[in-house]
Structure 1
Amino acid sequence: MILLISIISILINCFIYMIFGSLIIGDRKGQGFSFTLACVIGFFLYHSIFMIACVPLMLKFQPLSYMVVLWLAIVSIVLVVSVVLCRKKWLAQLKKIKGMILSAPSFYAFLLILCITQIVLIAGAYNFTLDATYYVGNVATSVATDSMNIYDPYTGNWQDHFEMRYFFATYSMNDAVICKLTGIPALVQTKIIMTSVVVIFIQFIYYQIAIKLFPDNKRAAALMIFLMAVVNFTFITIYTSSNFLITRTFEGKSIVGNVVLVLLLYMYMRMLDQTHTI
C-alpha cells in the first residue's frame, strides 16, 4: 500500500510542478514546449511561491492547517490558469512525445529502467544523519502539533525563537503540508516520495543535456546518461554532490548541488546556442 501511495504521490507532485512551470515556458513562441523543463522549472517556482506564502504565517505563529487551506487555494488557482493557457501546448507535446517514443523505443525504455533502478537503490537505502533526523522530525512534529517550525524536532520542546538557519528554508514545511493534507507519514514523504522526485528531475536535466550534445545520436546520449549514473554512484566523498545525491537526496544541499548547478550548466548551453534564448 505504501508503494502504491508513493507512486501516485510522485506522479501528482510531478504534475503539480509541471503546471507551475507551464506558466513560465508554456507560451514561448517558436521554441516549443518541454514537459521535462516545465517540471524542473516549476519545482523552483512552486517552492518560491510557497515560501512567500508560508513565511508570514510562521511569523504570526499560525497553525499548519491554515497553510494547508491557503496552499490548496493557490494550487487550485494555478491549475485553472495553467489549464486555460497551456492545454493546447500540453496536447501538442503529448503527440510529440508519442512520436519520439515510437521512433526510438529502446532508447526511452533504457532511460526509464535506468531512472527506476536509481530510485529503488537510493530511496531503498538505509541512511541516518543528524540533518536527516532534523528534517524528518521537523515535518513529523509540525504535523503532530499543527504548527510550523515552532517545536524542536530533537526534543519536542517549545522554542521561544525561530532557527534562522531553517526559517526561510520552507521546503520541509511543504512536506508537512502534504502530510497534513494526505495523511502520508513524514518518513515516507521525505525519504521515498521527495527523494524519488529529486532523482527524476536530475534525470530530466541529464536527458536535456545529452540530447543537446548528441541530437542525432541516441546511443551516445544513452551512454552519457548511463555514465552520469555510474559517476554518481562511484564518486561518493564528503566533497562531492554525488554524496548528497545518494545519501541525502531530499535535503536542500542535494538539490542545490545536483539540480540547480546542473540546470545552470544546461542554461549556459542554451545561451551558447543561438537558436534558443533563456
Structure 2
Amino acid sequence: MSKHVEGKIYKGRKADLISGILAVIKIIFFMFIVPFCIGVLLNGILPVVRRTVGITFIFGYVVYFAVFELVAIPCMLHYVYNAFSYCTYIYLVISLLLALAGIVKAVYLLRKHGMDYLTLFPGETHATAHELLSPRSDPRMLKLSYSVESRIYWGIFFTLLLVQMILAVVMSSFDGDDAYYVVESLLAQQADVMNTILPYTGTSTSLDIRHALAVITMWIAYMARICGVHATIMSHSVVPVLIIPLVYLVYVEIARILFRRRQEVIPVFMIIVSFLMMFGNISIYTPATFFLTRTWQGKAIVNSLVFPLIMWVFLWMLEDSRKRPIFGPKVDNSTESYEEYKEHKTIYKISPWIFLTLINMLSGVCTSMGVIFGTGLVALFTLVLLLFERNLRVVIGAICCVIPNALYLLVYLGLFHS
C-alpha cells in the first residue's frame, strides 16, 4: 500500500475519531447538562427538601419535554415544508436560553450559598446552623451518614445499573416496531418532515394522525440532528443510556418517601427493583421487557418512567399531608419541622401539581395511550389523597393538572375528524 493511500486512511480515521468525540460531547451537553440547567432555573418553586440534584434533573427533563411538545406540535400542524427544521431551530433557541438562565442562576447561588444550595445523595439534606439549633428541626431532614453496609449495597446497585446500561448498548434489541418508530425519526432527520411520509413505503401522505401527536420520535430525531448522530444509533444506543438511570432515579425518590425513617434501606430496595427489571422477561409484554429491550419507544417510557413519576408525586403530597390524619384531632402544628414550617407558602403547596401537569405533558409526548391511562391514575390517586387532605382543593388541583391531557385529546379528535 502506498504512503499516499496510508495517509488518506490515517486522515480519515482521525477525522472519524474527532467527529465521534464531538458527538459524545454534544450528547452529554444536550441530553444531560441542558435539562439539568433548566431544572436549576425553575427548581425554586420546589420545597427546600425537594431541591436535590436528582429531583432537579427530573424536573428539568419534564420541562425539557414539555417545551418540545409545545414547539413540535404547532410546527407539525402549521408548516408543510421543512417543518422539522423550524421545530429544531425554535426548540434549540428556547432550550439554550433556558439553560443559559439556569447557569446564571447557578453561578449566583454558588457564590451566595456554596454547594449547599443543592444536595447530592438520596436521603441527604445539608443542615444549616439555624436548623441544628431550632427546636422545630426534623432530624429526618438533616444530613444522613450511611453505614458501611449501606455503602456496599449502593455499590452493588450501581454495578447492576452499569451492567444494564452496557448490555442495553452492546446487545441492543430489534423488533418489528423499529420499522415504524425509528424510521419516523430517521425520516425527520434526513427528509425534514414530521409524520408526512409513510415509513413502510416511503411515499408521501397526509399527517399520520394516529402517531403524530406522540412526538417522542421527533425529539429523538432532534437529538440525532443536533448531536450529529444517526437516528437509529440515537434510538438504540444513546436513549437507553439516559432513560435507564432516569427511571431508577425516580425509584430512588419513591424509596426516599417510603423509607423516610430508614434511609439505609433504600439501596436494598433499589437492588430488588433492579433484579425485578433484569429478570422480568417472562413474556414479551411485561414492563421489564419493554424497559430494557424497547427503551426508546414511547410506550416503554410511559410505562417505565411516567407512571412511576405520577406515583411519586402523589406520595410526595401524601407525605406532606401526614400531619392531617383521617380520624381524630389535627396534630399540633408546633411539632412540625422547621423546614415544613418554612414551606407553608402557596408556591410550595402547588408545586407538586405543577410537576404533575408537566408529567402529563410528558405522557402525551410519548404516546396517546399515556394520556388516557395517566388521567386514570391521577383520578385514582386523587381519591386516595382526598381521604387524607379532606379538602376540595385536591380535586381542583387534579382537574387543573389534566388540562394538557384534555387539550391533547381535543387536538387529536379535531385532526381525526378533519
Of 253-262 and 88-97, the range deviating more from structure 2: 88-97
Does the Cα contact within 8 Å between 1:151 and 1:157 map onto a contact in 2? yes
Partner of 2:96: 76
TM-score, normalised to structure 2, is 0.59
**Residue 18 (str. 1) matches residue 36 (str. 2):** yes
Of 4-13 and 241-250, the range deviating more from structure 2: 4-13
**Residue 66 (str. 1) matches residue 86 (str. 2):** yes
* CA-CA distance at 1:103 after TM superposition: 4.9
- Pick one of 232, 239, 243 that aligns with 2:277: 232
- Partners of 1:102 and 1:124 lie apart in 2 by 37
Of 245-254 and 62-71, the range deviating more from structure 2: 62-71
- Partners of 2:30 and 2:145 lie apart in 1 by 28
* CA-CA distance at 1:176 after TM superposition: 1.4
The structure having more radius of gyration, on CA atoms, is: 2
Of 62-71 and 73-82, the range deviating more from structure 2: 62-71
Of 99-108 and 66-75, the range deviating more from structure 2: 99-108
Aligned residue identity for 2:80: F
Matched ranges for 1:108-147 at <5 A:
108-147=154-193
Deviations 1:132-172 (Å, cap 9, x if unpaired)? Answer: 2212111112222122222222222111x111121111111
TM-score, normalised to structure 1, is 0.86
Mark the CA change 1:8 to 1:91 in structure 2 (over 3 Å): closer, same or farther.
farther
Partner of 1:200: 245
Partner of 1:176: 221
Does the Cα contact within 8 Å between 1:139 and 1:176 map onto a contact in 2? yes
Mark the CA change 1:93 to 1:191 in structure 2 (over 3 Å): closer, same or farther.
farther
- Partners of 1:14 and 1:139 lie apart in 2 by 20
Does the Cα contact within 8 Å between 1:50 and 1:71 map onto a contact in 2? yes
**Residue 55 (str. 1) matches residue 55 (str. 2):** no
* CA-CA distance at 1:62 after TM superposition: 3.7
Aligned residue identity for 2:239: M
- Pick one of 263, 277, 297 that aligns with 1:251: 297
Mark the CA change 1:7 to 1:222 in structure 2 (over 3 Å): closer, same or farther.
farther
Does the Cα contact within 8 Å between 1:10 and 1:194 map onto a contact in 2? no
- Partners of 1:116 and 1:216 lie apart in 2 by 28
* CA-CA distance at 1:39 after TM superposition: 2.0
- Partners of 2:231 and 2:145 lie apart in 1 by 41
- Partners of 1:73 and 1:183 lie apart in 2 by 17
Does the Cα contact within 8 Å between 1:241 and 1:257 map onto a contact in 2? yes
* CA-CA distance at 1:191 after TM superposition: 0.9
Aligned residue identity for 1:14: F
- Partners of 1:228 and 1:11 lie apart in 2 by 29
Does the Cα contact within 8 Å between 2:157 and 2:274 map onto a contact in 1? no
Count of aligned pairs: 277
Partner of 1:167: 212
**Residue 263 (str. 1) matches residue 309 (str. 2):** yes
- Partners of 2:158 and 2:25 lie apart in 1 by 14
Structure 2: gaps (5+ residues) = 1-16, 125-142, 321-339, 344-348, 353-418
Report sequence identity in percent: 22
- Partners of 2:221 and 2:188 lie apart in 1 by 6
Structure 1 SS opposite 2:201: coil
Structure 1: gaps (5+ residues) = none
Does the Cα contact within 8 Å between 1:140 and 1:186 map onto a contact in 2? yes
